[in-house]
Structure 1
Amino acid sequence: MSSLQQPFQAPGASSSARAVRLAARNGRLQSHTSGLAAAHVQANLVILPQRHAADFLRYCQANPKPCPVLGVSEPGDPSMPALGHDIDLRSDLPRYRVWRDGELADEPTDVAALWREDLVSFVIGCSFTFEHGLLAEGIALRHVAQGRNVAMYRTSIQTVPAGPFRGPLVVSMRPLRAADAIRAVQISSRFPAVHGAPVHLGDPALIGIRAIGAPDDGDAVDVMPDELPVFWACGVTPQAALAQARLPFAITHAPGAMLVTDLLHHHLACF
């Protein structure tokens, strides 16, 4: 059977980063990327017009926990050579979000038709890297075991504004037993480039989350009686800031549908 006739196999944990990107580019991968190319750093994406790029960079610098910048492109350039061979930011994520005047307008699988020469791309660290560290230490993550996207919530905590960008901190949640939660703080603290240590443990109401079973993005998972909900800053935070800024046009990743880079997790670890 020729390579053109072979049936498609979804990329898995052992897949190369480029194989995952090509599956997204070819339209064969359109769901979340959790668990794929498990050794590789995954990242959030924000694309906006150059005239807003300086303000957005200041916003990221003022809010490094939710917005740790891994790379910034030149205007109009859809590549990111420092993060991977042959990356095309217009097509190499499984799903995107298109924002118009602060409102979510579309969720396409490719944004090549929307590309402009004034667009600047920001690649932002993702919690999937410290998740790899947690799993390597034997800490079970329920959403990974169940093949779900991590649960994400908007909080009552406000980010530091810069220019038109402001809004609530968005967090991701993983339920853990107390001993595992302590260890998770220690492990994730080694990865400041991908959100670092949790921002909150315990009662969700203290950070403005009223219904733990109804996340704003991602999939709900149960929190067992012997577990604490543990919350980390999340790279979906810039999407809330884009909504507040009401830019005429912007593009982001869809939550959980990340850019898989050629970087390995240990490249971002601080020992």
Structure 2
Amino acid sequence: MTAVPDFDTNSPKAVRAAIRSGAYRGFTNAVARRHVQGNLMVVPAAHADDFAAYCALNPRALPVLGRSRPGSPFIPSLGEDLDLRTDTGGYMVFRGGELVDTPCEVASVWRDDLVAFVLGCSFSFEGVLQHHGVRLRHLDEGNVSAMYETGIATRAAGPFGGPLVVSMRALRAADAIRAIGVSRHYPEFHGEPVHLGDPSLIGIADLADSYGGHGLKTLHADELPVFWACGATAQTAALQARLPLCITHFKAHMVVTDLPVDMARATPSE
């Protein structure tokens, strides 16, 4: 039986404190569901402007919610007590384009020249979709959405480039239509889907072969695969860039911010 968390799972501050102390290591799609969550990308200052340019060229996948000053692990506009070195719950550390570690904190590898970016995440609109009557089976089953590398190339900037990564949700046709109408109102969380239906049309050969190997990957007979641009695109760009050091969040362990999600931006009739 899964233990019931002994902290306020609706409070982003309480969630961050639980992550920081090691009391919570679960996927963040199950907590702080009315608050914005984000992807983490940390690069040396010498490459920060190139990465910002890469985000600007690929805004569907990489909408920037915040950027830190060089050497600072804080972005106060996203959370006064938010420490990007300890509060994400899982990290990936890349050196020379190779994944070298997946620690629970990165204070020991933080440097004075690092710049952190927090990018929009589709976890932030899942509560919105449910608010507007869209069934998300992966949440019903205690899972997360699967991610896939596509055959769609992103627009490159400096050393950053590579394939678009997407997240997939298995939706019934009526829910897919509703999800498109709702999500287009949230460009900071990737906006409307980039594709629905046959995965091979965007270069995905097998839904069973997801990026990272996790997530809901099987469809029921009455469901369509619906694909949104995904912030994990930054991770594949980090591999291509072969930076001396790059830090990202670990899959499905997102940056939990204090920013509230506007649940009513899209009307239920859409």
The reply to whether TM is greater than 0.5 is: yes
Which residue number in structure 2 is paired with residue 142 of structure 1? 137
Q: 2: distance between equivalents of 1:67 and 1:24?
A: 25
Q: 2: distance between equivalents of 1:270 and 1:168?
A: 30
- Asked whether the equivalents of residues 13 and 35 of structure 1 are also in contact (C-alpha less than 8 Å), the reply is no
Which residue number in structure 2 is paired with residue 105 of structure 1? 100
Using the size of structure 1 for normalisation, the TM-score is 0.93
Alignment-mate amino acid for residue 38 of structure 1: R
Alignment-mate amino acid for residue 25 of structure 1: R
TM-superposed deviation, 1:139: 1.1
Q: 1:13 to 1:137 in 2, by over 3 A?
A: farther
Q: 1:101 to 1:174 in 2, by over 3 A?
A: same
Q: 2: distance between equivalents of 1:54 and 1:136?
A: 37
Q: 1:103 to 1:270 in 2, by over 3 A?
A: farther
Q: 2: distance between equivalents of 1:51 and 1:208?
A: 33
Q: Does 2:247 match 1:251? A: yes
Q: 1:83 to 1:67 in 2, by over 3 A?
A: same
User: 2:152 is paired with a residue of what secondary structure?
Assistant: strand
**Residues 248-267 of structure 1: CA deviation (Å, up to 9, x unaligned):** 11000011100110001118
TM-superposed deviation, 1:10: 2.1
Deviates more, 1:23-32 or 1:61-70: 23-32
Which residue number in structure 1 is paired with residue 16 of structure 2? 21
Q: 2: distance between equivalents of 1:223 and 1:178?
A: 12
Which residue number in structure 2 is paired with residue 221 of structure 1? 217
Instruction: Tell me which of 58, 79, 83 is aligned to 1:88.
Output: 83
TM-superposed deviation, 1:147: 1.1
Q: 1:15 to 1:267 in 2, by over 3 A?
A: closer
User: 1:38 is paired with a residue of what secondary structure?
Assistant: coil
Which stretches of structure 1, 4 residues or longer, exceed 3 Å deviation after superposition?
11-14, 267-271
Q: 1: distance between equivalents of 2:64 and 2:89?
A: 21
Q: 2: distance between equivalents of 1:103 and 1:33?
A: 25
**Residues 15-60 of structure 1: CA deviation (Å, up to 9, x unaligned):** 2001111111111222311120111111100001000000000000
Q: 1: distance between equivalents of 2:264 and 2:115?
A: 23
TM-superposed deviation, 1:269: 4.7
Which residue number in structure 2 is paired with residue 164 of structure 1? 159
Deviates more, 1:94-103 or 1:211-220: 211-220
Which residue number in structure 2 is paired with residue 230 of structure 1? 226
Using the size of structure 2 for normalisation, the TM-score is 0.94
User: 1:162 is paired with a residue of what secondary structure?
Assistant: coil
Which residue number in structure 1 is paired with residue 41 of structure 2? 46
Q: 2: distance between equivalents of 1:28 and 1:110?
A: 13
Which residue number in structure 2 is paired with residue 127 of structure 1? 122
Where structure 1 has 5 or more consecutive residues not aligned to the other structure, the ranges are 1-7
Q: 1: distance between equivalents of 2:264 and 2:221?
A: 34
User: 1:231 is paired with a residue of what secondary structure?
Assistant: strand
TM-superposed deviation, 1:129: 1.5
- Asked whether the equivalents of residues 201 and 228 of structure 1 are also in contact (C-alpha less than 8 Å), the reply is yes
Alignment-mate amino acid for residue 232 of structure 2: V
